Chain A
Amino acid sequence: MFQDILVTGLVNGGVYALLAIGFSLIFGVARIVNIAHTGFYMLAAYALYGLAVKAGLPLAAAMPASVIGVVVVSLACYKLAIEPVRQHDAAVLIATIALALIFQESLLIAFGGHYLGVPAVADGFATILGVRVSYQRLVVLAAVAVVLLATWFLLNRTRLGLAIRTTANDLEIANLMGMNVNRVAMLTVAISAALAAVAGVVVAPVFVVDPFMWLSPLVTMLAIVVLGGLGSLKGSLIGAFIIGFVEAITVFTVPAGAFLKGAVALTIMVVVLLIRPEGLFGVAFEEER
């Protein structure tokens, strides 16, 4: 059972980390609470289904194509729906909720409401520490590790990463220093959507694909970013693994745990907020000073 918890916690935590870091990035840079974030994750899973199962492309080609497609869609959504209402926080919020609903309904019409399956990259099991772990889960772990490292490199070792971190730190000063903050925001949207898309593409074979698959990770992801501190990438990463393991422990040790896993994770978030209202690694934003 201990090994089960370890593997499930790592895989789910990794997927949550990809989602939460993307969400945190865009919140940090543009202060957008992007409810449609897991919508991109769902779009990527469906794009993979469409390309790999319906069109018969090989997975190696379908996966990058899905990610690129989702990034293009995200940029179009940002330009058309978010940017025109950027000055009004409430309107941005509703716009992202509406976008998520539009994704859900479009997919419902295009593919129907039933559960769909995507073939795994590699079939079969590996036995690690006496637990049978499917190869697809190992692929998920590897992909998560690679993408997280790449994101870390991009943010900390490139000029673009410096620009993103600067804008997140203080938008007005960054703007005064002559940075094109709108372009930085656009690029951040692209990176954030790409992270969500990678998560969607790698988990599509493990989980089922249906038009409501964006809802449950959305809530978990929001719990994680609040737990870790809004806008803090380190917090998102650590929060993701905390919630991933808490869910795994609840499912494997508590009776009726599958129903309670969400409740336990959210309760932990609320308790942490009561003790530390800014989350584990929260940063004070200028409007709260």
Chain B
Amino acid sequence: MRTLLALPRRLWGNLKSEVLVLPSRIFVLAGCVVLLALPLAWDDAYVLRIVTMTAIFAIYAASWDLLAGYTGQVNFGHALFFGIGAYTSALLSHHLGLPPWLTVPIGSAAAMAAGFLAGIPCLRLRGSYLSLATLAFPLILTGLLFAFPGFSGGELGISGLKRVVAAPLANYYLAVVLMLVLVFLMWKIGDSHTGLIFHAIREDEVACRASGINTTRYKLLAFALSGLFAGVAGALFAHFLRVAGPSSLEVALSFQAVIWGVFGGAATIYGPVIAVFTLYPLTELLASFEIFKQIRLLMSAVIVLLVLMFMPRGLAPWVRDKIERVCPRCKNRNVYTRHSCRLCDASLN
């Protein structure tokens, strides 16, 4: 009996000492619980659909951040990976009749390969040149798709795809759980030794190379990983909407990733995710009011502009700096209400 109780007690102890001490961690835990419990409380098909889409776009936005935020390779053509994920899985299931649980991984792998290949020319470019050159990649692919309408479906794209799972509720859990797992994975990558090197490449590539790091390899790794995660989002998106069209390669979608990434706070992973969960449902909510229907995109652009004026580093870092303070001695985070560090007892004032 005692051993049975020991495990929950230890879990509760860990929760109390590790999670409940920081408002940002409480927020993440609450967010996960709300997402997983939402269908139990509010089983509305429309709401489930919006949150599923939001979760898919959250993977996409976070994957942009892994490449652009961390490594500093500001990609203006991120829709390339999304589109390749969507089109590969759609073409495979349309022409070969493969089931979705097979096409989604293959689509993601194709997007990963595309990330690697797109990364090779980008090795020679930097800064604004890289951004503007990457903008071209999805448009070149769009041109090719339009030139072979028999194979790619042309402007209409490929429709009538199978869902990965049939029920809307199962689709919801698939997207949300996958989002949580993949975002956690990306955050872990960003936090790891590799992530540290990504940061270093952004800050000073020459110094990084001088320290004996093969920056070429790490930049290609960043491109491939980012392509992989964006490809998962794209393939899921295609199978969820049951259509893969040229809109998945649009300039607007590439810009959307940049907007989400910078609005939420670059090089954080959680920032873009929070941005998607704020902006995407907001625009959908605005669309549900008759008066706002026409101006929802206008409203969201104005909101982005206003938020950036007051918090140029992004929403999530701004809020986090308000509610938490970094200990000057041990660099751990503390609630803003504390006067001494919770770990090393140094004064925070």
Q: Are A288 and B132 in contact (CB under 8 A)?
A: no
Nearest CB of B to A62, in Å = 26
Inter-chain contact B302/A85, CB cutoff 8 Å: no
A266 within 8 A of B: yes
Contact, CB under 8 Å: B147 / A85:
no
- Say what secondary structure dominates the interface of chain B: helix
Known contacts A262-B139, A267-B140, A81 near B131 by CB under 8 Å: no
Q: Is the CB of A270 within 8 A of B136?
A: yes
Contact of B129 with A274 in the complex, beta carbons under 8 Å? no
A233 to B203, CA, bound (A): 30
Partner of B129, one of A91, A105, A215, A278: A278
| Structural contact, A263 and B139, CB atoms closer than 8 A | yes
Are B125 and A277 in contact (CB-based, < 8 A)? yes
- B128 near A33 (CB under 8 angstroms)? yes
Specify which chain A residues have a CB less than 8 angstroms from the CB of B147 in the assembled complex.
Answer: 256, 259-260, 263
CB of A262 within 8 A of CB of B308, answer no
> A273 an interface residue at 8 Å Cβ cutoff?
yes
From B43-51, B189-197, B257-265, the one touching the partner chain is B257-265
Q: Is A160 an interface residue (CB 8 A)?
A: no
Residues in A with CB closer than 8 Å to B126 are 277, 288
- In the assembly, what is the distance between CA of A274 and CA of B119, in Å? 12
Q: Is the CB of A219 within 8 A of B305?
A: no
Q: A270-B121, A273-B124 are in contact. Are A99 and B305 (CB under 8 A)?
A: yes
A194 interfacial by beta-carbon distance below 8 Å: no
Tell whether B143 is near chain A: CB-to-CB under 8 Å: yes
Q: How far is the CB of A148 from chain B (nearest CB, A)?
A: 23
Chain A interface main SS type: helix
> Which chain B residues lie closer than 8 Å to A256 at the CB level?
146-147
Stretch from A63-71, A114-122, A199-207, A223-231 that touches the partner: A223-231
User: Which residues on the A side are within 8 Å of B242 (C-beta)?
Assistant: none
Find chain A residues with CB under 8 A from B74 CB.
Answer: 90
Within 8 A of A (CB), among B13-50: none
**Assembly CA distance A270 to B125 (angstroms):** 10
Residues of chain A lying within 8 A (CB to CB) of residue B309? 81, 84-85
B304 at the interface (CB under 8 A from A): yes
Q: Please, which residues of chain A bring their CB within 8 A of the CB of B125?
A: 273, 277
For chain B residues 136-155, which have a beta carbon within 8 Å of chain A? 136-137, 139-144, 146-147
Q: Which residues of B contact A99 (CB under 8 A)?
A: 301, 305
Counting chain B CB atoms within 10 Å of each CB, the highest count among A93, A94, A109, A288 belongs to: A94
- Taking the nearest CB of chain A, how far is it from the CB of B291, in angstroms? 12
B312: CB under 8 A from chain A?
yes
A81 and B305 contacting across the interface, CB-CB below 8 Å: yes
Of the candidates A91, A104, A259, A261, the one whose C-beta lies within 8 Å of that of B312 is A91
Q: Is the CB of A226 within 8 A of B133?
A: yes
CB distance A288 to B294 under 8 Å?
Answer: no
In the complex, are the beta carbons of A109 and B255 less than 8 A apart?
Answer: no
Kindly provide the distance from the CB of A171 to the nearest chain B CB, expressed in whole angstroms.
Answer: 16
Q: For the complex, is A149 an interface residue (Cβ under 8 Å from B)?
A: no
Q: Give chain A residues whose Cβ lies under 8 Å from the Cβ of B140.
A: 262-263, 266-267, 270
Cβ contact within 8 Å between A98 and B302 = yes
Q: Return B136 CB to nearest CB of chain A, in Å.
A: 4
Q: Can you list 15 A-B contacts with CB-CB less than 8 angstroms, sorted by A residue number?
A: A33-B132, A85-B312, A90-B262, A94-B263, A98-B259, A98-B308, A101-B297, A101-B301, A222-B132, A222-B136, A230-B128, A262-B143, A263-B140, A263-B144, A277-B125
